[in-house]
Every structure is written in C-alpha cells, then in structure tokens.
Amino acid sequence: MSRKIGVIGIGHVGSTVAHYLVSGGFVDELVLIDKNKAKVVADALDLKEALPNLPYHPKIVVNDYDALKDADVIISSLGNTRVLSSKTSDRFAELPFVSAQVKLVAPKIKASGFNGVIVDISNPCDVITSMYQKLTGLPKNQVMGTGTLLDSARMKRTVGEALHVASSSVSGYNLGEHGNSQFTAWSTVVVLSHPISELVDKYHLDLDQLDQNAKNGGFTIFKGKGYTNYGVATAAVRLANVVMNDANTELPVSNYRKEYGVYLSYPAVIGKQGIVHQDQLNLSDDEKKKLQKSANFIKSKFEQVMNK
C-alpha cells in the first residue's frame, strides 16, 4: 500500500521533515506545499537530485492540494521565525501569522477530501492544532500536534546528561502546553527502571533546574542559530510513521482531552486513525494543578484567536 504524506510549509522545519522522509525511505509519495513557489520548487528539485544516491525513489509533488485527498498524514510546519525575538521564548509571537495562514490552508485541506491524520508542528502548537480541527471539521482523534513529544525528549536529554546515561534509558513525560506553561511530570519519570524520586538524594539532582533546562532547550537552540529544526522534525516524522504503521504506540502529543475541554499534551495511544486510546496518569496534586493551569491558558488563547 502506498505511503503518502503532505508537508505544508517548507521553511527550516518543513524542509528538514521532507529530507528525513525521503532519505529514510518513509514515503512513496510526498506532497510539498508552500506559498513561496520558488522555494518549494527549489526544495523539490534538490530532493529529486538526492534520489540517484539513495535506495528510495518516492514521487514528489509540488503545490497540489488535490493530491492530499488520499494522503495518510499531513504535517503542518507553517511558521515565521522572523517575528521571534532572541530575548524571549514566547511561542505566541507567531500566532498572528500562523493563525492567518491556517485560516487559508484549512479550507483547502477540507476541499481536497483529505480524511487522514493531521500532525501539527506549527506554533503555538496546541492552539494551532485546535484551529486545524475546528476549520477542517475532521474528527478530533484525527488531528494532533507534536506538542510535548519534543519537550519530553528534551527532558530525557537533560536527565540523561545529569546521570551520565543514554537519554533513551529515561522514560517519562512533559505535559500541558508546548510552551512556557508545560512542566515535567516527575511522577512519571523513570531512569534505568528506577523512579527518579529514588535517585534525587543519591545523585544530588535539582529537579527544578532540570525542568527549566528542558523547558529552555528550544530557546537555547533558537538563540544560537535563529530557528530549531532537527528535534521537532524528528518528532513529527516519528509520529507520522506511528500513524502509517498503525503502531498503537503511546506518545505525549497534543490531543483533545474532554475533561479539560482543550488540546494539550498528554500520553495517548496512536494508530492509523490517529488517537485510538487516551490514558489516565496517576499524577500528584501539584501536577494536576499545573496541568489545569496550562489547559486554562491554552483555552483562553484559542478563544481569543477564533473570536477575531
């Protein structure tokens, strides 16, 4: 069965996603869409010229919304990092630009007849993911954002470095907004089969500092090169592959949680139809309060943008 993905927004992140999909042999057909025709045509040609040196030969289509009809996944990587400041880590600076673009793009996705899964990278992730669901009319389980899948990876990196173990030996979740109100749910974090609470005193861990390091990871990268791309692109491609392979894998992604009435990051089992099961974590009272605060913030921002 043909594996088909659309990528909308071919900037730093979108082009990285496209390259990873092609070089990894993850797609049979790739649809690239961007309002900057010269840029998207150039990227498509660049990818085609990589094919002779790859064992994979996907078909690459440019700026054709109709081609999205039978796609398995659409990855939205719309954005404008030029509006961001090196002095702030507020992802909501992109909201005016990205929300305006989504209002143009979503109706075209709907008109194409697309009935797959939308994976949003675009920031502010939770609000934009909510907009895509509202404006395309797709079922909530078929629209998700990478959310704290990236922040959880950043947490695993910081914890792994602190304990001198591979980040892949750390499990656990960052929850809530993909933004300043997200937090590490330390009650979920396990290192080499040990709850991190058992390691704090022995290794003199400062959990508040580790949480802050994870939260600041993206800002540190942005200050250094003006954008982030590898981490979030890898998260998006992993999520797309989970969908296409019907893998039924649990990941912390931005998904609609009825009890909070909003999209936010919380572990969910993901398969071919998107969100197939939602878990319920045994969080501490403090973690529950932080999650509710994050949910309230996302909800207020979504209501603001939709009422404009």
Please say whether the beta carbons of 64 and 36 come within 8 A: no
DSSP designation for 176: B
Identify the structural domains of the chain with CATH numbers, from first to last. 4-145 (3.40.50.720), 148-306 (3.90.110.10)
pLDDT band at 153 (very low <50, low <70, confident <90, very high): very high
Q: What is d(CA 256, CA 184) in angstroms, rounded to the nearest whole number?
A: 19
Largest Cα–Cα separation, the chain: 58
**Residues belonging to the active site:** 178
Q: What is d(CA 289, CA 187) in angstroms, rounded to the nearest whole number?
A: 14
Cis before 124 (ω within 30): yes
34 marked as part of a ligand binding site: yes
Hey, what are 296's tokens? Answer: 């309230």
Helical spans, DSSP H, in the chain: 12-23, 37-48, 95-112, 125-136, 148-163, 200-203, 207-225, 230-244, 285-306
Hey, what are 229's tokens? Answer: 């791309």
End-to-end CA distance of the chain: 42
Q: What is the arithmetic mean of pLDDT over 157-166? A: 98
Q: What is d(CA 110, CA 5) in angstroms, rounded to the nearest whole number?
A: 16
Q: What is the arithmetic mean of pLDDT over 257-274? A: 97
Q: ∠ CA(267), CA(164), CA(149), 5° rounding?
A: 20
Statement: residue 113 has pLDDT above 80: yes
307 marked as part of a ligand binding site: no
At 204-242, the pLDDT tens digits run 999 999 999 998 888 899 889 989 999 999 999 999 999
Statement: residue 82 has pLDDT above 80: no
Q: What is d(CA 108, CA 33) in angstroms, rounded to the nearest whole number?
A: 11
Q: What is d(CA 30, CA 122) in angstroms, rounded to the nearest whole number?
A: 19
Q: What is the pLDDT of residue 217?
A: 86
Radius of gyration from C-alpha coordinates of the chain: 19
Please say whether the beta carbons of 263 and 255 come within 8 A: yes
Q: What is the pLDDT of residue 305?
A: 86
9 marked as part of a ligand binding site: yes
Query: Which among 1, 2, 33 is positioned nearest to 17, based on CA atoms?
Result: 33
221 marked as part of a ligand binding site: no
Task: Write down the mean pLDDT value for the chain.
Answer: 95
14 marked as part of a ligand binding site: yes
Query: Which among 49, 47, 40 is positioned nearest to 7, based on CA atoms?
Result: 40
* pTM (two decimals): 0.96
Please say whether the beta carbons of 98 and 150 come within 8 A: no
75 marked as part of a ligand binding site: no
261 marked as part of a ligand binding site: no
Helix (H) or strand (E) segment spanning residue 76: strand 73-76
Helix-, strand-, coil-residue percentages of the chain, each rounded to 5 = 50, 20, 30
Statement: residue 87 has pLDDT above 80: no
Statement: residue 95 has pLDDT above 60: yes
DSSP designation for 65: G
Q: What is the arithmetic mean of pLDDT over 98-124? A: 97
174 marked as part of a ligand binding site: no
At 10-62, the pLDDT tens digits run 999 999 999 999 999 999 999 999 999 999 999 999 999 999 999 999 999 99
